A and B are shown apart, each in its own frame.
Chain A
Amino acid sequence: MPVDSVLRALILGSIVLGTLVSLLVLLGAFIQFQRDRQNVHRIERFMAWETALPAYLFREPGALREFSAIPRRDLSIFQTFLARYQATLGGAEAAYLRDLYLSLGIHESLPKRLQHRSPATRAQAAKEVAVFQQDQYLQQVIPLLLDPVPYVSHMAALALSRSGDLQYARSVLIWVLQEELYQRERLLRVLEGFGPDLLPWLESCLDMPSHDPEAWILYALLAASHKDPRSERRLLQLLETPHVDLQAAALKALAVLADPLAYPKVLPFAHHAAWPIRALAAKALGLIGGPDAIPDLIDLTCDRIYEVRRNAAQGLADLGHSGYQALAWLAEDPTADRFARDIARERLEWAEERGHQ
């Protein structure tokens, strides 16, 4: 091949390559410019709506409420704008926000958005179903529990549980039990949405506690957060299951319910082999038994584990005057156990520093 032909081909190739690179750079710059423009527009819209929203929300009850017209192309931005307030504002303002949402017809696009390819859009749609109480779309939310994106499935579970409708409880429970255990608090928040009626439902459908302790731990935590006295009988049964975490959850719940009749069933756990259980029992006894628990709490101030002694001393202090008298007696008694005397003094000093006595 002649040299000048090779040279010409090289020059031509360089020109084509240069043109392509330049085009790519121009395209990138154009995309960036478009995104910046969208962001600026979004910020401008948010600022304008933020200014208009208080005037819409905080009128006298019964007064005519009007919000500036939202152009069709801005509806998706407005969905995000509105939904963020719904988590914060309750009462009448939440109802006014819902009215605004419905008046714009945004909910009509929910079926499409619940199946959108973008996870952010699916999650936003599930959130709107929950916060704006669009219960007619709940059936379409169920498949999202299997969504590969955890945020989307969490939003779907929240939407289903916030409806309070127990027909969705089984689907949500299956999802909950598949989730990681370390997320127990987060899962509990989801289940709380169903309200206290979920507790009897769980009792009727869960497997035996010895077969499925994790589910029953959630049951006990839920009973505590709802303070539901209907669950006490079952909680007392759970104490008999030889599973330390389950017993701990049941003790926490019984402490919250604080029924004095449960005291004799809780007392044996003050001598449990596992110290975390003894520590929880120490906490529960004072709450359940009131001043009658003082002798048992004094016994626990001699425990070899600090956490148990601390909870027992705290339990005494929480009883008020009679508890403080017991602590003062322990602190001054030269014949008292050294552990008991030290923890009583520590607790009294702590209270004195803060002026709690």
Chain B
Amino acid sequence: MSRVWPVNTRVLVVEDDQSTARIIQARLEMEGLKVFVAFNGVEGLEIIQREDIDLVTTDLMMPAMNGFRLVQEVRDLPAPKGRVPILLISSNQNEQDMVRCLAAGADDYMTKPISAQVLVERLWRLHQRSSQQD
């Protein structure tokens, strides 16, 4: 399926492992997206407040502020920033964690190892859904 992202679509990648962050960044940049990278939830939240971010992908386990907390903090922000679609990525396949994160307001959930192709597809669907809601 061909995807045509709107010009200047901005994605925030929150990931404490720099190698993972860079590889995700590289893949998303190949899609023509503008990618911001944060290495923990605190940095991520700052970027969301400062920039007009369209999509967020965040790791679950991170220092300073984990992904679960980040989702809660973002959802407490006033719209439209508080409604930004969030995809959580975790190395843990714990079902309770997934339920907890989705209940906190995450829009989707993936567990590592992730396929970059699937990640892009999920982000695309989240973006489509959020565009339709707007």
Interface residues, chain A, with chain B CB atoms under 8 Å away: 50, 53-54, 57-58, 84-94, 225, 256
Contacts and interface: CB of A to CB of B under 8 A. Distances in A.
A84 B17 CA distance: 10
Contact of B30 (A50, A53, A58, A87): A58
Contact of A50 (B17, B19, B112): B19
A210 B113 CA distance: 38
B22 interface: yes
Contacts of B2: none
- Which label, helix, strand, loop or mixed, suits the secondary structure of the B interface? helix
B117 A88 contact: no
A91 B27 CA distance: 14
Interface string B106-128: 00000011111110000000000
Interface in B1-58: 17, 19-20, 22-23, 26-27, 30
Pairs of residues from A and B, 3 with the lowest C-beta to C-beta distance, nearest first? A91-B115, A90-B113, A54-B26
Interface residues of B, number: 18
Given A54-B27, A54-B30, A58-B30, A88 B22 contact: no
B91 interface: yes
A88 B112 contact: yes
B91 A87 contact: yes
A58 B26 contact: yes
A88 B26 contact: no
A86 B23 CA distance: 12
Nearest to B59: A88
A65 to B, nearest CB: 14
Contacts of A91: 113-118
B30 A88 contact: no
Nearest to B115: A91
Interface of B: 17, 19-20, 22-23, 26-27, 30, 91, 93, 95, 112-118
A88 B118 CA distance: 13
A265 B133 CA distance: 46
B116 A57 contact: yes
A91 B117 CA distance: 8
Contacts of B23: 50, 53-54, 57, 85, 88-89
B116 to A, nearest CB: 6
Contacts of A90: 112-115
A127 to B, nearest CB: 14
A53 B30 CA distance: 13
7 contacts: A50-B19, A84-B17, A88-B23, A88-B113, A89-B23, A90-B114, A91-B115
Contacts of B114: 88-91
A35 B27 CA distance: 34
Contacts of A58: 26-27, 30, 116
B25 to A, nearest CB: 9
B87 to A, nearest CB: 15
Nearest to B110: A90
Given A58-B27, A88-B17, A94-B113, 9 more contacts: A53-B23, A54-B26, A57-B116, A84-B19, A88-B23, A88-B114, A89-B113, A90-B114, A94-B115
Contacts of A92: 115, 117
Contacts of B19: 50, 84-85, 88
Contacts of B26: 53-54, 58
Contacts of B115: 89-94
Contacts of A50: 19, 22-23
Nearest to B31: A58
A86 B27 contact: no
B1 to A, nearest CB: 15
B37 to A, nearest CB: 13
Contacts of B118: 91
A206 to B, nearest CB: 24
A89 B89 CA distance: 12
Nearest to A94: B113
Contacts of A86: 113
